Structure 1
């Protein structure tokens, strides 16, 4: 592994050397060039060649704003309306780094005018017609500040889920929005953490969720009420975002204050007893100074879950933001996000053998209606300062404090069908099992007596263990990020460079109590049983603190109009300390105080080439690395403190193309990602992390996003993922213990099947080989707009290569006769539909129907339980815009 790491490091240095040297040269001359270019914003040849421009146009009369746009962009304006008409209207202005089209859209917002690009340097401006209202939004935009190039010229697969898609689908959560991104699979929360859990291209990304470019690592379910868009970068992003980010990252782009007054709102009601109200209010504050504006978004929602008993979602959120200096060289903003949730959670169904328990009503709830809860109250405060040093260079600083308290008690249903081995060192004991369904199902205080059922047992005879997952904790973060972004011309070559320096503190203090509960009928559990543990003992609070910082640098060289070369490097320092007190009440034996420490220091590299056969298209090659430290999720103990970081390397080749003046974007890619030292949750113990070997994923992906006339909105995606577990050290359960005993006895059967199995070549957990999504809308008749969508997910494994010996006979059995199977989840199709019609000029009525076929499917798998998706439901809503 060390040899491979060294080779990768050398290869990374070679691949990015040219770009890095050129970029450092650019930085060395930055001061001199900055002064030289300060007055060149309007007409310099260097600026005219850029895909984006630095605009600084003040709010004021529209005719003056358009004159300034022409002067700063060089675009010729073909006006279809009298000039004096423009002078009577006001423009909000624009300031920042934008493409011509995005800047012009901002200038015309709220004026009633639309635009059409007649060529590369000519645009016509006229009255907006009813057919063109929805056509003034380009889909080829990228809001993540970690990137210097527009979406078309970014050498990586990036999928943006914009506002119009979220509105068409009536999306209410981050998970709803992410169903529009191929290559993403949902997963159930682990024992110690709940909230949004997902994989990107087969790799766990629970810790790779960002909010406006800074990590949002809290364990909570994120509401979509404050989203401007959801951006998903697929592939390694270690250079841009730091630790983790193997399969990619998810960035939530929140709504920002604007200089246009408006009020938007929704009211939704559903067949699943859904009640949801949102409001989005923006107000310019001229009395507070130039460019001041205030915006606030609010949500209140409550709903049941269709075809599931007891489960209920209750959530409230508010997100105010205040900004000063819009359209000025210096901009200040402070924003706050609060989401409060008090939900009755659902951990679904137990496995019976290697599949979901058969023949049980899909509404069955195994928890405690009055005593299961998920309570989270995240608070996130962000301050941001941006200053334009000149028309080419901007410096920004973002300071964030975040606090994520949670209190959780969830019931995980379990049925034991795994052969239990005993006395492997005794004479004649090797290969025997004590898996007897006649053992009493009333656990003792120590929980030592557990029933084990053959898979031939009638479902009506099964008893389910109510495993209690509890956690009280507060995660918090104090983080500061400074970046310098510049566009300079050095030795005749245009450089788009970005330097990021960031760091801070992250902490967690979980307390997990333990309870032993009576078993319950698999067919007819009573969710209203009182919560009366047979035995309980207090846990010990664990204190985890991480100090980390990262220094990263990216540079893109525009060698020709058709050729871009990029290189980047980042160094991360991640130091974690964990300690907890002794626990004399722990069973079966008391635990001593424990201290764990882990320090990781590691670089990441990235290099890419973009070739543009035409201005509206690009073909690219991208190579990058990333790493995942053991304490990535602020969970560190003796179990994982000595484990080396996971190391990842990805190669990707792809193409992107824009059509209809950036109204339709098509993209496709093929890629290969390899992860060394892969860590995974122990399929036999959710609290343990094990190193299972090397992951390899090879795949291909295509996507399309369109926002076209006739209300024709389109989002399509397909991903093929061929996953493989290589060089695994994971022994097939339950044979690991007996194989270790055979090794100790020097028995010749050691390391041979069936006592030892290395499941090389097995698929990786939660990676469907095929997955896809489609949602489209189109104008119908008499003002109606209709929509249809579908999602497909192929069969998945619940854990990577973990085979289980299933007890399918009565009485003691020889280990060689126990069949080996893998926990698996079948694939599924689900369908949805939408219809919308204006009621008045300002109000639309919209109906969304989800899971049209009322499909019973597993949406979120886990090695120890299965969470079903929601059944057929309909939402009726009114959308208000003023």
Structure 2
């Protein structure tokens, strides 16, 4: 009777789980009314619960392990079973885990599963007498236990002993902040600046430590190649590796890389979900369903994450976001020596995009922050990335782990966006050392003096229309192991990877003389017909890389690590241009450990950026040598309170050489002549402690400048030839020496803290500071039209962005054991600021909005 009752209860629980999944899916479609998709129902039953008596034919043990420290619980387990438990995480880390205990008659494996329940750790069987306890199958300690963990196999050591700045934004921080996108999550990382999309690429555009990271996005250690806005619904955490990482990841990574760690199945059954409603007409529904499949396939589990969202943008008219996402994954052999998984990610977006406001001169035009210069009914951004990943790994008896991962990704994109432009830049005609500024049309675009009232100014609607499909087929095999040579321990990772990347863009051309009022644009205007459709371009890259990383533990307090990688990168265009790059990169570091929970390190690394890095190749850049980068970094890391509080700080310098610059004597040529440097320091704190005391905080100081340019430190340099009687200067100039780099605020910082409040409330408060920055490293002639002055006295101006503070709040409280209410107030002061700058347009940040949500877990 008891067993029948338990079976009925299990069926009832899983039926409820499926109901939640079905309701969540339907609600997601209701929110995303334009989405036409369907999901098949999942038909499976849950594994027996922890309290169910074992089957009569299985050997059982009597357990009586009290709740308390997990280290004591494991000792009791060994005494009561006679099994040996091998723990593969540091003892000081294990000491911070708590167990709920185990009481009753259970098989040995079931007893261990209950012992580890809720810890974020898992086990697997090594042999008949030994169990191995370590990280979850997803290779990352659950955020409820450890504040700072990472699942990348590219590293040989835990983060504490990794000689590089690595920032982790865990899931619990993103949930507290109601962060819904990658961009939102990265606001918790100092040293990162967000930039706007441009004509050739939309989606997430970042700079890390002063250098572009648009092409340095990864999912679980493999390149995420597409141009799209990434949602956070399937994130376990976001990880930012700052500094060069070509040895680990290949081309690019001048300032660092961003890795999105996905959610993978776990041993326990659960259903989680959330519903958010906001003042900006936000509707967002998420579901996270995890189901062990032990009744059908021992050691297997299935997990499904779903998301649907529709929202406007506070203080921006007409802009709207609609997204849908689904991410199923099934894992096999989770407790065995051989493990595998198959994962699928789909994110569909059909939004009304917004390229914001125009410049007027070098500053943001002083128009209403709500002005929308696009066509409300005819502006769109449609992306439908699909990513399929298969992984298999095996533990050999000698401790060697071999892992092979195969990924196929397809990234279709179809966009029509209006970029608002006001031409205010005069052209300077020079005669015998004297310049005369004239504001004349450029390519038929009227030129407005900066003193013109905005009521008399027209904004050019530059229509950007393009469709493209990018795809990637990539295989990565890694061998991760340990060996001892004499008294020296060696931890190593060897990686062999390669594959194909392709891009197939096509542009649609519209008339260039389409205008709207600067003060009162009409978003309901009718879109003109296109003038022409360009030929589709086919770009293909074939690449492979071979790398090795090794850490030598010379003593308990001294470690040496190093690595080398060789990359082969061959790119061709159907028009005939091609490029072949064969490039090694290097890394070396020293780590000193004054205590078991701290490290001090010095690191040196190199990286490179080929001109075809983003699969954008043409005749004028195909023969260019790669841009070269080298970084020096000295820093320290400390884990406190049993790994629940992590502190880090670093000083660094990155030198970039062979920087691409346009030839001032022939704008069709590209020269490898520039040098750039970014140096600075940053500090970070991440904590997940008792009393719901969560903390993430950081500050970065970046000094990024041009150290050498084709202009040789003169504002006009080679452009002005004194022997020429008359020479007209183009209104934009390449950066001379000591000019600041674009989109690099000298100071930036973030803070988020939560804590228990009376009456079972938890409160959170935080903010972000971004200092002033320039939208471009190039200068404009700051001379009103008609002015006459000597060339030596001609002033320059830069398109600049003011610094800003924003503040956010959170309040949450449990409604029941399964439900929780959460409210978030975003941009409390309704601050108007430029969030995503571009040399030709400016996208404001979202205004004040409130979000109210219900979080559920079963």
User: What's the offset of the Cα at 1:265?
Assistant: 0.4
Distance 1:690 1:369 in 2: 41
Q: 1:126 maps to which residue?
A: none
Cα 1:756–1:469 change in 2 (3 A) is closer
Cα 1:140–1:63 change in 2 (3 A) is farther
Q: 1:462 maps to which residue?
A: 457
Cα 1:845–1:610 change in 2 (3 A) is same
Which SS does the other structure have where 2:174 is aligned? Answer: helix
Distance 2:617 2:98 in 1: 64
Cα 1:290–1:474 change in 2 (3 A) is same
Q: 1:313 maps to which residue?
A: 321
Cα 1:104–1:376 change in 2 (3 A) is closer
Q: 1:819 maps to which residue?
A: 795
1:97-136 superposed Cα distances (whole Å, 9 cap, x missing partner): xxx9999642599xxxxxxxxxxxxxxxxxxxxxxxx995
Q: 2:721 maps to which residue?
A: 742
Asked if residue 525 in structure 1 is aligned to residue 525 in structure 2, the reply is no
Alignment TM-score, normalising by the size of structure 1 = 0.81
CA contact (8 A) 1:732 1:804 kept: no
Cα 1:680–1:788 change in 2 (3 A) is farther
Which SS does the other structure have where 2:631 is aligned? Answer: strand
Cα 1:160–1:680 change in 2 (3 A) is farther
Which SS does the other structure have where 1:524 is aligned? Answer: coil
Q: 1:656 maps to which residue?
A: 637
Asked if residue 242 in structure 1 is aligned to residue 218 in structure 2, the reply is no
- The alignment yields a C-alpha RMSD, in angstroms, of 3.4
Cα 1:782–1:203 change in 2 (3 A) is same
Asked if residue 268 in structure 1 is aligned to residue 279 in structure 2, the reply is no
Distance 1:873 1:532 in 2: 35
User: What's the offset of the Cα at 1:88?
Assistant: 9.0
Q: 1:435 maps to which residue?
A: 439
Matches within 5 A, 1:213-612: 213-358=221-366, 360-390=367-397, 392-420=399-427, 431-436=435-440, 448-516=443-511, 517-533=513-529, 536-580=531-575, 595-612=576-593
Count residues with an aligned counterpart: 762
1:334-389 superposed Cα distances (whole Å, 9 cap, x missing partner): 1000000001001011111111012x110000011011110000000001010111
Which SS does the other structure have where 1:698 is aligned? Answer: strand
Distance 1:568 1:392 in 2: 21
User: What's the offset of the Cα at 1:304?
Assistant: 0.2
Asked if residue 676 in structure 1 is aligned to residue 620 in structure 2, the reply is no
Distance 1:250 1:686 in 2: 34
Cα 1:876–1:562 change in 2 (3 A) is same
Distance 1:527 1:831 in 2: 31
Distance 2:732 2:820 in 1: 65
Matches within 5 A, 1:116-131: none
User: What's the offset of the Cα at 1:518?
Assistant: 1.8
Which of 684, 692, 699 is the matching residue for 1:703? 684
Which of 750, 756, 762 is the matching residue for 1:785? 762
CA contact (8 A) 1:92 1:106 kept: no
Distance 2:251 2:586 in 1: 12
CA contact (8 A) 2:637 2:648 kept: yes
User: What's the offset of the Cα at 1:758?
Assistant: 5.9
Cα 1:207–1:872 change in 2 (3 A) is same
CA contact (8 A) 1:102 1:138 kept: no
Which of 824, 827, 832 is the matching residue for 1:856? 832
Which SS does the other structure have where 1:846 is aligned? Answer: strand
1:314-339 superposed Cα distances (whole Å, 9 cap, x missing partner): 00000000111111011111100000
Which of 631, 637, 640 is the matching residue for 2:618? 637
Q: 2:19 maps to which residue?
A: none
Distance 2:836 2:386 in 1: 27
User: What's the offset of the Cα at 1:546?
Assistant: 0.4
Cα 1:688–1:176 change in 2 (3 A) is farther
Cα 1:567–1:724 change in 2 (3 A) is same
CA contact (8 A) 2:438 2:786 kept: no
CA contact (8 A) 2:544 2:569 kept: yes
Q: 2:85 maps to which residue?
A: 69
User: What's the offset of the Cα at 1:782?
Assistant: 1.2
User: What's the offset of the Cα at 1:287?
Assistant: 3.6
Cα 1:413–1:640 change in 2 (3 A) is same
Which SS does the other structure have where 2:554 is aligned? Answer: strand
Asked if residue 665 in structure 1 is aligned to residue 665 in structure 2, the reply is no
1:487-512 superposed Cα distances (whole Å, 9 cap, x missing partner): 11112211000100000000001001
Q: 2:812 maps to which residue?
A: 836
Distance 1:758 1:386 in 2: 50
Distance 1:417 1:567 in 2: 52
Which of 785, 810, 824 is the matching residue for 1:809? 785
Distance 1:74 1:432 in 2: 71
User: What's the offset of the Cα at 1:428?
Assistant: 8.3
CA contact (8 A) 2:432 2:726 kept: no
Which SS does the other structure have where 1:639 is aligned? Answer: coil
Distance 2:510 2:111 in 1: 60
Which of 176, 196, 209 is the matching residue for 1:188? 196
Cα 1:850–1:708 change in 2 (3 A) is same
Which SS does the other structure have where 1:288 is aligned? Answer: coil
CA contact (8 A) 1:278 1:299 kept: yes
Q: 1:44 maps to which residue?
A: none
Q: 1:715 maps to which residue?
A: 696
Mean Cα displacement is larger for which, 570-579 or 634-643?
A: 634-643
CA contact (8 A) 1:695 1:723 kept: yes
Q: 2:823 maps to which residue?
A: 847
Cα 1:735–1:414 change in 2 (3 A) is farther
User: What's the offset of the Cα at 1:568?
Assistant: 0.3
Which SS does the other structure have where 2:595 is aligned? Answer: coil
Which of 798, 801, 804 is the matching residue for 2:775? 798
User: What's the offset of the Cα at 1:695?
Assistant: 1.0
Which SS does the other structure have where 2:331 is aligned? Answer: strand
Which SS does the other structure have where 2:289 is aligned? Answer: strand
Asked if residue 763 in structure 1 is aligned to residue 740 in structure 2, the reply is yes
Distance 1:775 1:399 in 2: 37
Distance 2:502 2:738 in 1: 38
User: What's the offset of the Cα at 1:450?
Assistant: 2.1
CA contact (8 A) 2:706 2:735 kept: no
User: What's the offset of the Cα at 1:762?
Assistant: 1.0
User: What's the offset of the Cα at 1:432?
Assistant: 4.6
Which SS does the other structure have where 1:175 is aligned? Answer: helix
Cα 1:343–1:733 change in 2 (3 A) is farther
CA contact (8 A) 2:153 2:480 kept: no
Q: 2:46 maps to which residue?
A: none
1:642-692 superposed Cα distances (whole Å, 9 cap, x missing partner): 222110000000000111111100000000100012247999x99998767
Which SS does the other structure have where 1:542 is aligned? Answer: coil
Which SS does the other structure have where 1:69 is aligned? Answer: strand
Cα 1:521–1:230 change in 2 (3 A) is same
User: What's the offset of the Cα at 1:519?
Assistant: 1.2
Structure 2: unaligned runs, 5 residues or longer: 1-73, 125-141
Structure 1: unaligned runs, 5 residues or longer: 1-56, 95-99, 110-133, 440-446, 581-594
Cα 1:248–1:709 change in 2 (3 A) is same
1:564-611 superposed Cα distances (whole Å, 9 cap, x missing partner): 11010000011110134xxxxxxxxxxxxxx21111111000000111
CA contact (8 A) 1:421 1:431 kept: yes
CA contact (8 A) 1:454 1:806 kept: no
Mean Cα displacement is larger for which, 390-399 or 694-703?
A: 390-399
